[in-house]
Amino acid sequence: MFADRAKIIIRSGKGGDGHVSFRRELFVPNGGPDGGDGGKGGDVIFEVDEGLNTLFEYRHRRKFSAEDGEPGGKRRCHGGNGADIVLKVPEGTVVMEAESGKVIADMSGENRRQVVLKGGRGGNGNMHYATATMQVPKYAQPGQPAQELEVRLELKVIADVGLIGFPNVGKSTLLSRVTNAEPKIANYHFTTLTPNLGVVDMEGCGGFVIADIPGLIEGASEGVGLGHEFLRHIERTRVMIHVVDAASTEGRDPIDDIYKINKELEAYNPEIASRPQVIAANKIDAIYIDGEDPVSRLKAEFEPKGIRVFPISAVSGKGLKELLYYVQELLNEMPKERLVFEQEFFPEDVLSVEKLPYTVEQDEKDPHVFVVEGPKIEKMLGYTNLDSEKGFAFFQRFLKDTGILEELEQAGIQEGDTVRMYGLEFDYYK
């Protein structure tokens, strides 16, 4: 079974606690502290596995945890580090925070391995706390807590070219004819439930990856049928081949089909709908001309709009070479970079401060000044470089996502008022 989505809970390892102990040796009745440090907790790591093409193994298991670090021991013994957990995923998998849908990691391109949750640091043993005035420290540092997060995994196919169109127009047959792919082909709607990939490798062509996107229907952009499950797979494609049944073997009008599918693309993502398209007028060997030639109708309708129409037969192979060479020309004119989803959610930053307190108060002396303080703010400012554009953007997201901006508005802040945070001052504007 093909699985392109899953929701799981991931947990890093807790840091091991520091140990409290004292030297106990013969003739040394009051030895100094010798409690060892705790070990580091294991990380949660996502890694691309070239042998995988689905997220099936994450559909039946919900929770994945790294090992906790071991506590420190006597005689300055360091606790063992917890083992990392490495979650293997197919290339093109996007890891998102489940509730907000914000991207944590896009496992594609050069990003083959990424630490998503870091294990907690081990705590210091009491050997670190001996001073001239405190020679018998009876306390040690606890290990940092584990981090836990619910994430959504979505597989978005990596391909240069996507085959789109209604079910049963011949996309799978076309793919099997022009690539090394072996899709299952049968005369049923929604036969293709898996996006099949193949490599087009022709003489005089650089070669490109082509994906048979399962058939769309009206209402796909609203989730009708299997619409959303399939539409996500064309997000990375650079060119789309729109396959239509030019012979109308099922009684549908090919021109109407194209407009319906493009309407679904526009509703799902206007940027995708604006990408280059080529029309493959398939099943020309089944056309029995009785009146107007359907291929001429297609050309008259779409070629003035800059969309080329190629009459083809996926069964006999007629017209395929001309179609593919033209697609290669389009790809050569376009930037080679594929869409990569930028990271929007930073677990280490968000999870480490989300439970810390803060206060929002109006200054007693100046009603146009609002003071925001507390451990949450202090810690955030400690790891954020406000002088950089990226750092300041994170700072703005932090204020919004944590509800601080909302609290300032509830406190009565107006445009032009000042927000003060530990010596830093900012003017407030909506």
List the binding residues for Mg(2+). Answer: 172, 192
CB contact at 8 A, 104 and 116: yes
Instruction: List, in sequence order, every residue forming a beta bridge with 254; answer none if it has no partner.
Output: none
Which structure tokens are listed for 401?
A: 């996502």
CB contact at 8 A, 246 and 239: no
Which structure tokens are listed for 230?
A: 């399939």
What is the phi/psi pair of residue 306, to 5°? 85, 10
Which residues make Cβ contacts (< 8 Å) with residue 321, sequence separation at least 6?
Answer: 202
Q: Residues marked as binding?
A: 165-172, 190-194, 212-215, 282-285, 313-315
Radius of gyration of the chain from Cα atoms?
Answer: 30
Rounded CA separation 229/194 (Å): 10
Rounded CA separation 177/402 (Å): 54
Question: Virtual CA dihedral for 46, 50, 54, 60, nearest 10 degrees?
Answer: -50
CB contact at 8 A, 11 and 155: no
Q: Residues marked as binding for GTP?
A: 165-172, 190-194, 212-215, 282-285, 313-315
Q: Is 292 exposed, middle or buried (0-12, 13-18, 19+ CB in 10 A)?
A: exposed
Which structure tokens are listed for 116?
A: 């998503």
Pairing verdict, β 424-427 and 418-421: antiparallel
Rounded CA separation 54/2 (Å): 6
Question: Which residue bears the tokens 């391995």?
Answer: 113
Rounded CA separation 254/108 (Å): 35
In eight-state DSSP terms, residue 411 is T
CB contact at 8 A, 241 and 172: no
Q: In 70-209, where does DSSP find H-type helix?
A: 171-178
